[in-house]
Chains A and B, each alone.
Chain A
Amino acid sequence: MNLEGKELGELFRLADEIGGKRYHRLTPQDFEDYRRFDYWRYVSGDFECGTTQESKDWVKDHSDWDCPICEKSYSKTGGKTIDHKLPRAQYPWLSLNFENLWVICRACNQRKGDMHWYEYEHYMFTRYPVLYLAVKSARPSKLLRSLNDQTNPETIR
């Protein structure tokens, strides 16, 4: 790839394209990791915070009355949802790593979508600067650092 003479914007676009790529198809292990979250969350049914006692208890222990990002009451923003700070489709091995989970409101979750972490911080910094500090304080620094470890991914097996 010839990068000479490319504009900065073009370089960023290329970096997005490469970084956004899946390393390859999901391996059976990746898929199994991805599904672990569902096994933990659901016995049956399809409730955002899960139907198992364990997932319900976890949500209760890790949330307040208000969403940590927009600080609005959950009752006014569509209720509580469990979000993966690093999306599990991209980071299946962190699917059931509790450092990667947090409870946010449905609206904030939808806004966040499948963004990578710094992509999300950048998005919030430019679009919702008032909310940026709340997002920054939730940054999963330890998990992001673990990407540079030369050891196995932090999967709970």
Chain B
Amino acid sequence: MASKDELQSILKEKYGINKNISQELSKEECQKILHLLSREPSAIKLVESFAQKNSSLGNKNSYYSRMRNQAESKLKSLKTEYRGLEESIKTLEKNKEPLGARKKQLEQEREKLEADIQKLSAENRDLGVEVKTLSSRNNELTEANDQLKKDNKALKNLVDEIRLKLAMSTKKLLQYEDSEIRKALIKMFGSTLG
């Protein structure tokens, strides 16, 4: 006599009735079904249709379950990502404050440097003007000096020339034989005679 399990195996092999479905039946009921199926082709048709439907539902189920698992893990990773973004935003906001202060400071420094540059270039202009003035004054002094040294020598030569001419005239006059005039001339121009 066959066991329930053996009967279930026959049901599976011959008619495609899965063991988890035939499990609900008792051993006698399994025998009765096998007997019924051996005599009734329409019953076989019905059973085969159920089995087919069952298998397709099983496939669909496992497909949906896979999809659900995928969606769940996707949700999980999105949530993690979202939390990460939130953290980042928080950090960024926190960093924004000192950056703003630094930016302000840099701006101030830039303004100060610009002011310094303006001041230096103004000073540079002033110095340029001063150098120009000094060099033109120096030129004036050099010209005055050149003129002075010439004037000084011109004066010296003029006086010497007068003295030379006096000496010549005196010498001519001394050729005359008037002793009084001679004495007076010598007294007057003695210094020019050398």
Contacts and interface: CB of A to CB of B under 8 A. Distances in A.
Interface of A: 7-9, 12-13, 15-16, 18-21, 23-24, 27, 29-30, 86, 90-91, 93, 116-119, 121-123, 125-127, 144, 146-150, 152-153
Given A18-B152, A119-B160, A123-B194, 13 more contacts: A13-B191, A15-B159, A16-B156, A93-B146, A116-B156, A118-B160, A118-B163, A119-B156, A121-B160, A125-B167, A125-B194, A146-B150, A148-B150
Q: Which 4 A-B pairs have the closest CB atoms?
A: A19-B156, A118-B160, A9-B191, A126-B194
Interface in B148-180: 148-157, 159-161, 163-164, 167-168
Interface residues of B, number: 29
A19 B194 contact: no
Nearest to B168: A125
User: What DSSP secondary structure best describes chain A's contact surface?
Assistant: helix
Contacts of A152: 143, 146
B153 A19 contact: yes
Contact of B192 (A12, A18, A148): A12
Interface of B: 142-143, 145-157, 159-161, 163-164, 167-168, 188-194
B149 A23 contact: yes
29 contacts: A8-B192, A9-B190, A9-B191, A15-B155, A15-B159, A16-B156, A18-B152, A18-B155, A19-B153, A19-B156, A23-B149, A27-B145, A29-B142, A30-B149, A93-B149, A116-B160, A117-B157, A121-B164, A122-B192, A123-B194, A125-B167, A125-B194, A126-B167, A126-B193, A147-B153, A147-B154, A148-B150, A148-B154, A150-B147
